[in-house]
């Protein structure tokens, strides 16, 4: 219990005070709950005194019982409301804060994290784990806390009334806690496995739905569905395993308190027959024995979901501790030159760059060409610090990228990737994503330059058209042109275009290239492209081959000195001449 509460505070953030208030109000509420037992005992006392001792029940007795009961009910309602108010505000606010906190950390995580962890696992952590914490996590912890506190408070109320019964109650509580701690480890192992199965099932479901088009096109529906059915079956078995692990513990836990009730009844009757206590006191002790363990019995019945709460908190703590890249504080770029000094970089154990050095000149357009797998996209990702090099330095404006504030560094880069992703939002908000302060006129101007204004206006809702996930209700070329408009609107010093015109219609390409050329004036631009016109117009061309710089120069210079570049150009020219024959 203590460890569970400790873990809750570790993820509570700014809501720790509300959680503390919840526990305090729960303690006070349970004090009034103890008064309920006092009211019952007082009522039984007056009734049994009337039966056995022929004492008359006076109006004062009725008023006393009513007063105690009224105070108990009123206190429980008020402090129960205060506890619930703090609980609900804390749980949902804590869920939102954790999602934002983890989202912010994910923004500053090395891209290797996403290579080693499935997107579905990350998404499940932010949905399943945080969602269960919001809806049932705090409730479980609260109920466990209430069960323990309620029974201890009733035991404290009982001790002044009858010391022997109070000792029996406390002994049963201590024994029950010991038994619970002994068997909880086994239950935790099962619930930890179950959480992994639930996250895996969510990830498999997400992958199945996202890839349904590819699955159908290759006729692999049955095979993929078998894998999904396997995950579902394993998930079901995981639930059964948890129940099998905790059911014996729950039975033993409840048995302890049922035996304690029997001991209280036996002791009360024995002491009555021996003349140690009166008949009315024996009756009150017997009745109270059926009430006093109610809270702890409830705790025992929640052993299975207690383990779930523990594993959810552990998983959330793990997400909160995702290692992020170190960053500096500098928020000014002195000039727009990018220099790589003897950098080494590898994906896990596969070395890509070794002692690579290159300079991207300030305010110029640099094209990067090379065969597939030569490291073109990786080189651009290193410039923007999506990855960190294993060795060497990357300087932006003569300053190591690690010395910049990460958010500031990224704010100076605009990207147009080969694989475009648009958000499930309006076209307007997608274009303004990098510059929310832009006016509609500015947005429309860049949309016209990017050759996407006309097709947007043909849509029923124009710029207010809501895009489906990833922009799936648009063609590939339309998505790419919107992403170009988005990059144009962002006020950045560096522009990275990764096959930015690969999906643009031929009739729009010339105008789009003119727009890009005007956009890139005065900016440091890095272009990964296979189209000859784009390459020829670059101020500088870097040729990569097998993770190293094969040569650097202009188009004319490289045609004379670079065999790799010359072969590349010949292949491009042959591709242009290629046509279908009748």
Q: Which two tokens stand for residue 210?
A: 């996202």
Q: What is the CATH number of the domain that holds 543?
A: 3.40.50.300
Q: Which two tokens stand for residue 190?
A: 């099962």
C-alpha angle 155-158-164 in degrees, rounded to nearest 5? 95
pLDDT at position 340, please? 92
Is 182 a member of any domain? no
pLDDT at position 575, please? 63
Tell me the three state secondary structure of residue 347: strand
Is 570 a member of any domain? yes
Nearest to 486 by CA among 471, 473, 472: 471
pLDDT at position 552, please? 92
Long-range contacts, stretch 91-96, CB < 8 angstroms, 24+ apart: 91/133, 91/134, 91/135, 91/137, 91/138, 91/139, 92/134, 93/14, 93/15, 93/18, 94/11, 94/12, 94/13, 94/15, 94/133, 94/134, 94/138, 95/130, 95/131, 95/133, 95/134
pLDDT at position 546, please? 82
Name residues of the chain where pLDDT drops below 50: 580, 582
Can you tell me the distance from the alpha carbon of 465 to that of 520, in angstroms, rounded to the nearest whole number?
Answer: 29
Is 362 a member of any domain? yes
> Which H, E and C letters describe 368-395, residue by residue?
EECCCCCCHHHHHHHHCCCCCCCEEEEE
Is 71 a member of any domain? no
Q: How does pLDDT run across 126-184, given as a tens digit for each residue?
A: 777 787 777 777 777 777 777 777 777 777 777 887 888 888 888 888 887 777 777 66
Is 210 a member of any domain? no
Is 521 a member of any domain? yes
Q: How does pLDDT run across 310-354, given as a tens digit for each residue?
A: 777 777 888 888 888 888 888 888 888 999 999 999 887 788 888
The count of domains in the chain is: 1
pLDDT at position 299, please? 67
Phi, psi at residue 406, to the nearest 5°? -60, -45
- Which residue is listed with tokens 């919107």? 482
CA 581 to chain centre: 54
Q: Whole domain around residue 403: which residue ranges?
A: 336-575
Is 177 a member of any domain? no
Is 286 a member of any domain? no
pLDDT at position 431, please? 92
- Which residue is listed with tokens 């009034």? 32
CA 28 to chain centre: 34
């Amino acid at each position: 219990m203590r460890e569970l509460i400790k873990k809750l505070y570790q993820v509570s953030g700014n809501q720790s005070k509300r959680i503390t208030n919840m526990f305090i109000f729960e303690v006070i509420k349970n004090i009034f709950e103890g008064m309920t037992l006092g009211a019952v005992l007082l009522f039984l006392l007056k009734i049994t005194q009337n039966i056995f001792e022929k004492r008359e029940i006076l109006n004062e007795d009725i008023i006393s019982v009513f007063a105690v009961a009224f105070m108990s009910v009123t206190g429980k309602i008020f402090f129960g409301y205060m506890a619930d108010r703090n609980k609900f505000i804390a749980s949902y606010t804590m869920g939102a804060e954790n999602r934002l906190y983890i989202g912010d950390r994910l923004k500053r995580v090395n891209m290797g994290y996403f290579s080693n962890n499935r997107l579905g696992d990350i998404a499940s952590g932010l949905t399943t784990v945080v969602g269960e914490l919001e809806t049932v996590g705090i409730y479980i912890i609260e109920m466990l806390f209430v069960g323990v506190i309620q029974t201890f408070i009733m035991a404290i109320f009982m001790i002044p009334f009858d010391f022997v019964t109070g000792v029996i109650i406390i002994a049963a509580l201590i024994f029950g806690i010991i038994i619970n701690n002994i068997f909880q480890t086994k239950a935790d192992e099962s619930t930890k496995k179950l959480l992994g199965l639930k996250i895996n099932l969510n990830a498999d479901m997400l992958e199945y739905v996202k890839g349904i088009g590819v699955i159908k096109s290759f006729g692999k529906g049955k095979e993929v569905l078998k894998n999904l059915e396997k995950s579902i079956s394993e998930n079901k078995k995981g639930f059964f395993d948890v129940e099998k692990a905790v059911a014996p513990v729950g039975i033993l836990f409840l048995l302890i308190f049922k035996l304690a009730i029997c001991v209280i009844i036996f002791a009360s009757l024995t002491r009555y027959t021996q003349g140690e206590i009166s008949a009315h006191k024996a009756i009150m002790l017997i009745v109270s024995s059926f009430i006093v363990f109610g809270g702890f019995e409830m705790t025992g019945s929640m052993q299975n979901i207690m383990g779930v709460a523990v594993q959810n908190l552990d998983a959330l703590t793990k997400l909160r501790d995702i290692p992020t890249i170190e960053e500096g504080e500098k928020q000014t770029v002195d000039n727009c030159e990018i220099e790589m000094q003897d950098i080494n970089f590898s994906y896990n154990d596969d070395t890509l760059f070794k002692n690579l050095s290159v300079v991207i000149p300030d305010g110029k357009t640099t094209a990067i060409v090379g065969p597939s797998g030569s490291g073109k996209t990786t080189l651009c990702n290193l410039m923007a610090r999506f990855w960190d090099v294993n060795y060497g330095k990357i300087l932006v404006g003569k300053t190591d990228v690690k010395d910049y504030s990460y958010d500031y560094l990224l704010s100076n880069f605009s990207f147009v990737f080969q694989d475009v992703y648009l958000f499930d939002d309006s076209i307007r908000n997608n274009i303004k994503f990098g510059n929310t302060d832009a006016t509609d006129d500015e947005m429309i101007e860049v949309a016209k330059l990017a050759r996407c204004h006309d097709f947007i206006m043909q849509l029923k809702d124009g710029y207010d058209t809501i895009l489906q996930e990833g922009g799936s209700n648009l063609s590939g070329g339309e998505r790419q042109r919107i992403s170009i408009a988005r990059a144009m609107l962002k006020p950045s010093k560096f522009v990275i275009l990764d096959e930015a015109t690969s999906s643009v219609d031929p009739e729009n390409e010339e105008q789009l290239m003119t727009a890009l050329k005007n956009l890139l004036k005065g900016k440091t631009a890095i272009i990964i492209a296979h189209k000859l016109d784009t390459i020829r117009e670059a101020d500088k061309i870097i040729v990569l081959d097998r993770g190293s710089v094969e040569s650097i120069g202009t188009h004319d210079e490289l045609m004379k000195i670079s065999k790799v570049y010359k072969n590349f150009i010949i292949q491009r020219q042959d591709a242009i001449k290629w046509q279908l024959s009748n």
